[in-house]
Structure 1
Amino acid sequence: MIQSPAWGAPPRRVLLATDLTSRADRAFDRAVQLIHLWGAELHVLHVVEAMPPAVPFGVDAQTYLRERPDPRVEATRRLHRSLEREQVPARAHVEEGSASRAILSTAEREGCDLIIMGEGRDRLVGPLEGTLDHVVRRSPVSVLAVRDRPYGPYRKLLVGTDLTDEAQQALITSVRWFGGAQIAFLHAYSMPYSSLLRRHSKEWEAEQLAQLRAQLEDADLSPEQRASIRLRVDAGSPAAVLRRQAQELDTEVTVIGAHPRGLLFDTVVGSSRLIIDAIPGDVLVVRAIRGDSR
Structure 2
Amino acid sequence: MFQIRAADPHEALTQAYRAIWTQQRKLLPLLLAHAGRLIPDVGAAGVDAWLNYLLVRFQAAMESENIVALRYARALQVDAARYSPRGVADPRVRRGMTGRGHILQMFGHYDAALHCYAQAIQHATHFQFADDEFADAQLVYGQAAHDAHAQVVYTEALRQGSHARAVAALRRVHIIADSDERIELQLTRERRALEFALAFAVRRQDLVLAAASRREEATIEDQFRRFTELAVHHPSPNRQLSAHDITLLYAVLTRDAGLAATARKAFQRVNDTIGGYSNLSDRFNTRLRTAKQLSHKFDDIAEVHGPIDPLRNPLATPTHPAGLLVNAT
Q: Normalising by the residue count of structure 1, what TM-score does the alignment of the two structures yield?
A: 0.27
The structure having more radius of gyration, on CA atoms, is 1
Higher strand share: 1
Q: Normalising by the residue count of structure 2, what TM-score does the alignment of the two structures yield?
A: 0.25
Higher helix share: 2
Using CA pairs under 8 Å that are at least 6 residues apart, name the structure with larger relative contact order, 1 or 2.
1
